[in-house]
Every structure is written in structure tokens, then in C-alpha cells.
């Protein structure tokens, strides 16, 4: 344990990977909580897939693989995808989950076509773009971590400033509209913040796995509490724990890929929460049911 702690502090690569994964877990956990409470678990998956065409277009227009440039492209197409989803749900009879599925498939298809075109062009600078599909946290450097911290910090600050509005939007949007809250604008803003969470996670876990970093920490935290503020704190804690533990395991255990290891660690946290959380855990629920049956039988006749 002390050796691992020494490596995290003094090993440049491991420190950046651990910090980047922890930041992703914190931001994804907090913002993913609102998506889970609003029954929009597929939203993170859709936004992650809409980011792929932006990455490709940013590279095609600039010829640069600078993370900030690619993040900007991913953010633009992610935001466009968000507006399309909201518009389709508002103006058509298509349900939200259907709209999410349609946008996800179309944007991801466009992204794969663009990525294939780039790979077939003889541009030597395109090497590594395909890593955004599954992520490659080992390529994180200090400047990437700083960018993630700035963007993630701005998103979390926005959540803190508008906590009351986002809370009401998540639990009772009709009442929020009736008292004059700009529900439409708040919905766009909250979804845009989720886009930021997706964008900062693409290099770490990739397009395919990003949804798990939004849904997993929130789903685990929901098992332990009924209070939103506590849920956000637990989701951030669980996301950070999964990020750091996944990074450390990937480095120490035969150089396993970091992104999938982070997701597996998050999966373990979700399973433990589903089984052993005091209020909703399946194990404690079974114990309570068995205890109730025993009391009923003992209080019965004879």
C-alpha cells in the first residue's frame, strides 16, 4: 500500500492518470446524478456518441490532435446533439428514449465514417484518434489534467450556484414552471453541463464506456440516501474511488487498460451498493422480509 501511495505521488504517469480518472469520477458522478434522477440514463451514452463526429471534424479542420481542440469539437457536436434531442421531444410524438437512440446512432455512424476517412487519408498526424473510442488514460499529461480540472470545476460551480433550480427541475419540473422558473433554459443548461462531463472523460474512458461513469456513481449513491445533497457527495466519492482504484490496478497488474478497469471498479461499487445499502440493499431487504415473516408466524394462532 505504501509503495502504491509512493508511486501515485512521485510517478508522473500514474499521478496524472489517477488524478484525471478521479476528476472524471467526481464530475461524472455529480452531473450523472441529475440524469439518473430525471430517468435519462441513456442521455450520457447519447452525448458521448455525439461527441465522436466533433472530434473527427475538429481534426479535419485544424490538422491538430491537441486535446483542447478535440474537446472543443466534441463539445460543439455534443451540444448540437443535445438541442436536437430536446427539439425532437418537444415538437414531435417521438418519446425521449427513442429520440436519444436515434441521435446516438446517427451521430455515431457519422463519426465512424469520418474516422474511417481520416484513417485512410495519408495524414501521419491522425495516429491515435481511434483511442477516443475506448479511451487511453495512459496518454494523460499534466496539461490534460489541468484542462479537465478547469472545465470540471466550472461545471461543478454552476451546479452549486443553481442547486435549488436543478433540484426542483429534477423532481418536479411542472411546479418549477408554475412558479416562473425558466425550465426550458435550465434543461438546456443542465444537459450542456453533462456534455462537459462527457467531453473531459473521452480521453480517459472513451466514447463507448463514458455512459458508465455518469450512471454508475449516481446509481450506487442512490441506494444509500434519500437526500440529493448527500447523493451528490456520495456519487462524487464513488466516482473518484473507482477512478483512482482502476488507475492503480491498471498500472500495477500487467498494464491492463485503464478505462475498462475504472468501469469494472465502478461496477463493483454498484454491486456492493445494490446488495448492502441499509435502506435499499437486496441483502438487508431479504433480512427484513424474513424477520417480518417470522414475527407474523410467531404472532399467529397456536
Give the domain ranges of the chain.
2-298
CA dihedral of residues 264, 24, 148, 9 (deg, nearest 10):
-70
Cα 245–Cα 251–Cα 254 angle in degrees, nearest 5: 120
Any residues with CB less than 8 A from the CB of 277 and at least 6 apart, and which? 223, 224, 284
Give the model's pLDDT for residue 2: 46
Give the model's pLDDT for residue 302: 45
Give the max Cα distance, the chain. 87
Give the model's pLDDT for residue 12: 65
pLDDT per residue as tens digits for the range 83-95: 888 888 888 888 8
Give the model's pLDDT for residue 126: 67
CATH of domain 2-298: 1.10.3470.10
Give the model's pLDDT for residue 43: 80
- Please tell me the pTM assigned to this model: 0.85
Give the model's pLDDT for residue 10: 53
Those residues of the chain that have pLDDT short of 50 are: 1-2, 6, 302
Specify burial of residue 296 (Cβ count, 10 A radius: 0-12, 13-18, 19+).
Answer: exposed
Amino acid at each position: 500500500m505504501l509503495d502504491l501511495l509512493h508511486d501515485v505521488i512521485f510517478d508522473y504517469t500514474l499521478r496524472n492518470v489517477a488524478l484525471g480518472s478521479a476528476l472524471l469520477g467526481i464530475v461524472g458522478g455529480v452531473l450523472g446524478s441529475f440524469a439518473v434522477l430525471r430517468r435519462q440514463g441513456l442521455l450520457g451514452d447519447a452525448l458521448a456518441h455525439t461527441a465522436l463526429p466533433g472530434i473527427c471534424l475538429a481534426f479535419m479542420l485544424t490538422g491538430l490532435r491537441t486535446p483542447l481542440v478535440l474537446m472543443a469539437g466534441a463539445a460543439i457536436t455534443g451540444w448540437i446533439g443535445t438541442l436536437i434531442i430536446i427539439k425532437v421531444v418537444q415538437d414531435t410524438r417521438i418519446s425521449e428514449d427513442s429520440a436519444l437512440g436515434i441521435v446516438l446512432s446517427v451521430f455515431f455512424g457519422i463519426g465512424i465514417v469520418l474516422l474511417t476517412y481520416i484513417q485512410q487519408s495519408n495524414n501521419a498526424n491522425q495516429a491515435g484518434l481511434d483511442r477516443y473510442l475506448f479511451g487511453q488514460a495512459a496518454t494523460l499529461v499534466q496539461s490534460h489534467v489541468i484542462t479537465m480540472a478547469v472545465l470540471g470545476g466550472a461545471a461543478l460551480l454552476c451546479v452549486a450556484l443553481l442547486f435549488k433550480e436543478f433540484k426542483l427541475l429534477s423532481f418536479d419540473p411542472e411546479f418549477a414552471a408554475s412558479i416562473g422558473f425558466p425550465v426550458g433554459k435550465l434543461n438546456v443548461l443542465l444537459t450542456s453541463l453533462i456534455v462537459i462531463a462527457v467531453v473531459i472523460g473521452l480521453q480517459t474512458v472513451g466514447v463507448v464506456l463514458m455512459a458508465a461513469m455518469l450512471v454508475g456513481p449516481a446509481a450506487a449513491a442512490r441506494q444509500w440516501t434519500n437526500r440529493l445533497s448527500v447523493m451528490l457527495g456520495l456519487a462524487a466519492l464513488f466516482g473518484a474511488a473507482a477512478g483512482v482504484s482502476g488507475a492503480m490496478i491498471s498500472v500495477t497488474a500487467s498494464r491492463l487498460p485503464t478505462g475498462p478497469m475504472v468501469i469494472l471498479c465502478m461496477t463493483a461499487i454498484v454491486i456492493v451498493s445494490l446488495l448492502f445499502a441499509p435502506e435499499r440493499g437486496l441483502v438487508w431487504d431479504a433480512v427484513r422480509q424474513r424477520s417480518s415473516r417470522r414475527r407474523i408466524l410467531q404472532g399467529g394462532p397456536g
